[in-house]
Homo-oligomer: A and B are copies of this chain.
Amino acid sequence: MIITVASFKGGVGKTTTAIHLAAFLQGQAKTLLIDADPNRSALSWAQRGELPFPVVDEWQVDQLHNHYHHVVIDTQARPTQADLATLVSHCHLLVLPTTPDILALDALVLTVNHLQQLPAPQYQILLTAIPPHPSRAGDEVRSLLQSAHLPTFARGIRRYAAFQKAAQAGVPVYGIQDPKAEAAWQDYKAVGQEILTRLHP
């Protein structure tokens, strides 16, 4: 199973999402994370600590990826139209993380417009960095997306300082000392479940 994570805009938790989806899938079967983002964020995350799956850059892929059951790809931000077509055609699901704010939604709309010109694109939008109650930004954006009939994960990822600590420590969020680490990990586990039920009903 190949999961690609992409977004037009940076800073929306693309790398965090790739890492934690890979961590979830690793719980099911051998998983590989390919860091195709020129910033090499996922690689430096892995370098600072230890992740339960290997992380490689896109040049090391050929000799490896048929040893793995699942592959998660962290792509560069702002893919071109052509890039998008390639991405979509080579994966089972394209995950589009976005924060619940106007600027990110703007960029999301551009991406989706491009996607919908492709034949039967498999993609799903993931709301990330959702601010805590009483902000309703998360709910508002979700219902907005749903009313636009855009495929969105039912579960979103809340904004927790635990994710920052995890990035700093170089581990998945469940590996750090934080009162909200468990809740943060549950969010990604729920999203991982949604992916599994979508692709293997």
**Chain A residues within 8 Å of B, Cβ to Cβ:** 8-12, 15-16, 38-41, 44-45, 48, 76-78, 99, 101-104, 106-107, 110, 131, 135, 137, 161, 164, 167-168
Known: A9-B10, A9-B11, A10-B11. A167 touches B78 (CB 8 A): no
A105 to chain B, nearest CB (A): 10
| Residue pair B110, A39 in contact (C-beta under 8 Å) | yes
- State the copy count for this chain: 4
A121 to chain B, nearest CB (A): 20
A42 (CB) vs chain B CBs: closest residue = B103
Our pick among B39, B104, B164 for the contact of A78 (Cβ within 8 Å) is B39
Our pick among B15, B44, B102 for the contact of A164 (Cβ within 8 Å) is B102
- How many angstroms between the C-alpha atoms of A9 and B76 in the bound complex? 10
- Chain B residues with CB under 8 Å of A164's CB are 101-102, 137
A11 (CB) vs chain B CBs: closest residue = B11
A109 to chain B, nearest CB (A): 10
- Chain B residues with CB under 8 Å of A77's CB are 9-10, 77-78
